[in-house]
Amino acid sequence: MEKIYTIKDIAELAGVSKGTVDRVLHKRGKVSEDALKKVNEVLDKIDYQPNLMARSLKKKQIYSICVLIPDSANDPYWQPCIDGINEAKKEFKSFNVKVEIFLFDPTSTSSFVETNKTVLNSSPDAVLLVPLFHKEAIDAIETYNSKGIISSIFNNQLKSNTIKSFVGQDLFQSGRIAARLLDLLIKKGTIAIVHIDEDYENAIHMQEKEKGFRDYFENLESGKFEIKTFKVKHPQFKTTLKEYLESNPAIEGLFVTTSKAYQVAKIIAKKPEKKIALVGYDLLENNLEYLNNKTIDFLIHQNPKRQAYLGTTSLIEHFIFEKEISPEKLLPIDIVNTENAKDYFL
């Protein structure tokens, strides 16, 4: 256990006052070359670690972090995010940080824009957001950046060099995993990728998952599988899918790229004459129900709670511990079946 040095120690070792040491440490100038040298010599010899307790006790500044996430009233997928953020808040409650959650309607672009405006008005030190709307998110982040506000994103990837950090999963790989699981479930046959409820062109996550999924089978070269894509939006969903399945009786497996696998499960559960393998995303209650009755074979866990937690803590720790924010944090892609589902609710 090596000695812990304080500013006072350094001052004594260098033969100057603690004020001078402080000026050197913070590069505030007003230090003679002679004194600078003396202090730096000591600093080179020892490993000075400022006492963060003392620092944050003294510093009056309260850092403000705003988190923008979709309202879970519209999509239960987002519910765990709140828990993750609150967990981070609780963990750092004694520190000088204020974390505020702002909800927007995931079905409304203008709601997203408006919420960003509100956030901007409160002029926070950092913003963590889910960039659900590509163009609008880029704009918002640009604005934050121009005001010196740090922005991080999670859940959805976005290419922008003003973003400090992304927390999420490798969606291409995620698609490959789904492919591997379906490869295992059915040894051959036709598989349909089902994109529901979101606009394919605007949903990069769907595209990435599809790419990864197809990539797996292309490299397999077995020729045992045929992959199709099926896109559908909500209102007409039920009948459309039913028709699609009836006109494609060769389909042995389905890969649902969103958290809406339960909607598909509802339909294929009614056709017990033939078990269709089904892989989807996210541990929503509805999904778990069909996982447990084995209509859904596997769910891939995107761990929104942990994403939100890590996104928040990395910002908090940046401010209070001066930790660097890692530009990309990819979470493991958890494979969930009947047996380990409950483990993921910590």
List of residues contacting DNA (CB under 7 A): 4, 6-8, 16-20, 22-23, 25-26, 29-32, 34-36, 50-51, 54-55, 57-60
Q: Is 60 in the site for a copy of itself (CB under 8 A)?
A: no
Query: Structure tokens of 130?
Result: 């889910």
Q: 111: closest CA among 133, 144, 134?
A: 133
Query: Structure tokens of 190?
Result: 């036709």
**280 close to 261: Cβ distance less than 8 angstroms:** yes
Partner from DNA, a copy of itself, none contacting 19, C-beta within 5 to 8 A by type:
DNA
The whole-angstrom separation of Cα 346 and Cα 51 is 33
Binding-site member from 57, 73, 220, 250 for a copy of itself (CB under 8 A): 57
Partner from a copy of itself, DNA, none contacting 32, C-beta within 5 to 8 A by type:
DNA
Query: Structure tokens of 140?
Result: 């918002």
Per the listing, tokens 């078990």 go with: 275
Put the strands of the sheet holding 63-70 in their side by side order.
97-104, 63-70, 126-129, 150-154, 165-168, 328-330
Residue 230's beta-bridge partner residues? 194
Q: Is 331 in the site for a copy of itself (CB under 8 A)?
A: yes
The whole-angstrom separation of Cα 182 and Cα 191 is 8
Q: Is 269 in the site for a copy of itself (CB under 8 A)?
A: no
Binding-site member from 40, 49, 219, 236 for a copy of itself (CB under 8 A): 49
Site string for a copy of itself, 209-248 (x = CB under 8 A): -------x--------------------------------
| Residues in region 173-202 near a copy of itself by CB under 8 A | 173, 176-177, 179-181, 184-185
Chain residues binding a copy of itself by CB under 8 A are 1, 49-54, 56-57, 93-95, 98, 170, 173, 176-177, 179-181, 184-185, 216, 321, 330-340, 343-344, 346
